[in-house]
Amino acid sequence: MNRMPTIRRKLYPHVEPRQTGRIKVSDLHELYWEDAGPVNGIPVIALHGGPGGGANPDMRRFFDPRYFRVILFDQRGCGRSTPRSTLEENTTWDLISDIEKIREMLGIEKWIVFGGSWGSTLSLAYSITHPDRALALLLRGIFLLTKSEINWFYQHGASNLFPDAYDRYIAPIPEAERGDLLNAFHKRLMGPHGDERRDAARAWACWEGETLSIRGPSARPPQFDDDAFTDAFARIECHYFKNGGFFETDGWLLDNAKVLNGIPGTIVHGRYDVVTPLSSAWALHKEWTSSELKIIPDAGHSSLEPGIVNALIDATDEFVQRFR
């Protein structure tokens, strides 16, 4: 673990994609993708959070645009991919297959795998499944998608730190059903479009939006006020979490993390991350011995906390020295 420097870095300037497109990955799903940076740059696949959150162009800004070729895409059912908010043919293994289709389409042999929160989950699952395709991993806000993590955030643990936001989160659920909030929300989110589904989606999504930052509810990102965003975000998240990430066993990622030994990686995690507690990053680091863990002492979950930004950019600059 490294001591954090006192001078903090800023995001690299925004660059427009060099090319964009759509790829048909099944009879049902078509994904939107973007490719930015020099075609001969160090390739990166950037995996967004959620699941269901959609790609954000700021994800490219952790990488020096002179040296990195950064691929973004919207995962099944969200962002600019179609059909929106669809749960059919939407599992972790489908997404891993999609990543491989994009890699093959672009003619990339190996790439850096980058993701935070659910993006870290998918990054780990992909790299464990295809370790020969991972040049390195850069992960933030580790989420192993275990029952204990889901129970911590969606049932009661995080409520002790954000009781104001928690009361807003549970408001659409009758008191008699609050003993099992995951299933109570699932029942409402899987229903037809209507007030009940809309209210449940807003509450589910805003609970995460209000707890992302160490600054609390006032730092909730604006997309959490968009009903189209919250519907896809809440439905797809709840679908994945209800099904345990579609992993064979609870704790599958940690049980298989030794596959990554020998692959370099950096884990960046906020000390006060409420959404995905530090214990998950600590456990992963112990199993994945070729990783470096950077604990940010004054940060929560958001990728845009100053200390998180600093550590991620330091890591990508180190990758330039290693892989250029």
Q: Hey, which residues are catalytic here? A: 117, 273, 301
Q: CB-based contacts of 160: which residues, under 8 Å, 6+ apart?
A: none
CA distance 321 to 324: 6
- How many whole angstroms from its chain centre is CA 295? 18
Burial 70-79 (b: 16+ CB within 10 A, else e): bbbbbbbbbb
The packing angle between helices 227-242 and 195-211, to 10°, is 80
Q: CB-based contacts of 2: which residues, under 8 Å, 6+ apart?
A: 292, 294
For residue 305, the one-letter residue type is E
Q: Which of 200, 207, 233 is nearest to 48 (CA)?
A: 233
- Count of all residues that appear for the chain in the document: 324
Q: Which of 119, 110, 50, 57 is nearest to 85 (CA)?
A: 50
Burial 145-181 (b: 16+ CB within 10 A, else e): bbeebbebbbeeebbeebeebbeebbebbeeeeeeeb
For residue 213, the one-letter residue type is S
Are 314 and 9 in contact by the 8 Å Cβ rule? The answer is yes
